[in-house]
Amino acid sequence: MKGHSIATMCIWCRCWYPCREMQTIDRSGQTPTWDAIRERLRERGMRWTPQRRLLLEVLAGQSGHITAAQVLERCRVRDADVTASTVHRTLEALEGLGLITHGHGIDGTPEYHLLPEVEHGHLYCRQCRKAWEIRGAEAAALAARFDQEIGFEVDLSHVTIVGRCGDCRVAG
Q: What is the pLDDT of residues 82-139, one digit of tens each?
A: 999 999 999 988 888 777 888 887 787 888 887 656 777 888 899 998 988 888 788 8
Q: Cβ distance 34 to 12 under 8 Å?
A: no
pTM: 0.63
Which amino acid, one-letter code, is at 65?
H
Strands (E), the chain: 6-10, 22-26, 65-67, 100-104, 110-114, 121-125, 131-134, 160-163
Residues carrying CATH 3.30.1490.190, the chain: 121-171
Rg over CA atoms, the chain: 19
Which region holds residue 113: left if phi is over 0, alpha if psi is between -120 and 50, else beta? beta
Q: What is the pLDDT of residues 51-73, one digit of tens each?
A: 888 898 888 888 778 899 999 99
Domain spanning 33-114, CATH class: mainly alpha
CATH architecture type of domain 121-171: 2-Layer Sandwich (3.30)
What's the pLDDT at 116?
A: 56
Is 28 strand, coil or helix? Answer: coil
Percent of the chain with pLDDT over 90: 26
